[in-house]
Amino acid sequence: MKITQFANPELLWLLVLLLPMAALYVWRVRRGGSALRISSVVPLEGVSRGVRYWARHLPFVLRCTAVALLVVALARPQNSEKGSSTTTEGIDIVLAMDVSTSMLARDFEPDRITAAKDVAAKFVADRPNDRIGIVAFAGESFTQSPLTTDRSTLQTLLGQISTGMIEDGTAIGNGLATAVNRLRESDAKSKVVILLTDGVNNAGQVSPATAADIAASYGIRVYTIGVGTRGTAPYPVQDMWGMVRYVPMPVEIDEEILTDIASRTGGEYFRATDAGTLAEVYSRINEMEKSRVETSEYMTHTELAGRYMLWAFILLAAEFLVRFLWLRRLP
């Protein structure tokens, strides 16, 4: 944004010098100029007044304008442009999501995996300055999206996550190890894994404790989330005719392992028993892991005095030409 201002505004008071200049000029005009003695004015009667007669005040006007411009130039007019620069220090985050069939349980609305994806999508949208990746795991694990700032692609890939993508089971250690692998070469000052699961580790080649120690060695904090109500929840079961029905089954979440993972890496464990509390968990993590954004303002000045001085000298030159070349003859 450009703002016109003066570096020495107090010098604008010199403009009052134009008042005595004008008063002196008016006094001289009324007093009369040089006299010319002639024998008779008869030959001059009826002579119309020419352009030079009416322009006789032009030199004074040009001089006053030039003086005003010089005073403005002394006050140093400037165009000041205000701007700002932003420095962003984002966080690299990997969302490790359980996609085992138990995530279809209906204790969340409409089910666990849909609720988890909806809340994660909002979390991604709320962090425009961070690189985010997605890892899915069940009996095995794979990278659904590498670290990226492309929010549109992230949302699309997040929406494509579903149960049945890979062999069933709950390989918490493998899921965490894959997420750590995405972050180990990151040069971000803050690296985070958000691991969400609804079961007990029962598959995979890497134990959760080993994966947690690897994460800690790379300075990666792991926030773990156990999703599932307390007691029983309706799980999908396929009957002998191939039909899917929901039967109440005990909710088993290995909170001890999840708490241990968080403790080893400097993170925190959360329990989400419904979609509302899950949203609160992500909101809390969002508050704890703030990206650093610094905004510095600056002001640039463009000096305009030279332009005013140039116009003042042009007007003084014009006064000289008008006074001594054009108006030197009698009208």
Contacts of 268 (CB under 8 A, 6+ apart): 223, 224, 262, 288
Alpha helices, DSSP H, located in the chain = 18-31, 51-54, 58-74, 112-125, 151-159, 172-183, 208-217, 255-265, 275-288, 305-321
Rounded to 10°, the helix 112-125/151-159 angle is 180
Contact between 266 and 137 under an 8 Å Cβ cutoff? The reply is: no
Whether 298 has a pLDDT exceeding 90, the answer reads no
| Amino acid letter, 261 | I
The crossing angle, in degrees rounded to 10, of helices 112-125 and 275-288 is 30
Burial track 284-315 (b if 16+ CB lie within 10 A, e otherwise): ebeeebeeeeeeeeeeeeeebbeebbebbeeb
Amino acid at 237: V
pTM over 0.75: no
Digit-coded pLDDT (tens) for 147-164: 999 999 999 999 999 998
Per-residue model confidence (pLDDT) at position 167: 93
What is the fold of 91-290? Rossmann fold (3.40.50)
Q: Exposure string (b/e) for 20-44, b if CB count within 10 Å is 16 or more?
A: eeeeeeeeeeeeeeeeeeeeeeeee
Mean pLDDT of the chain: 85
Distance CA 202, CA 275 (A): 25
For 21-67, the pLDDT digits (tens) are 888 878 887 776 554 455 555 554 554 555 555 566 788 888 889 88
What confidence category does residue 331 fall into, taking pLDDT thresholds of 50, 70 and 90?
very low
Q: Which residue do the tokens 């085992």 mark?
A: 100
Between helix 305-321 and helix 58-74 the angle, nearest 10°, is 160
> So where are the chain's domains?
2-33+49-82+298-326, 91-290
3-state percent helix, strand, coil for the chain, nearest multiple of 5: 45, 25, 30
Q: What tokens appear for 232 in the block?
A: 């029983």
Tokens matching residue 171:
């390989």
Tell whether the model's pLDDT for residue 73 goes beyond 90: no
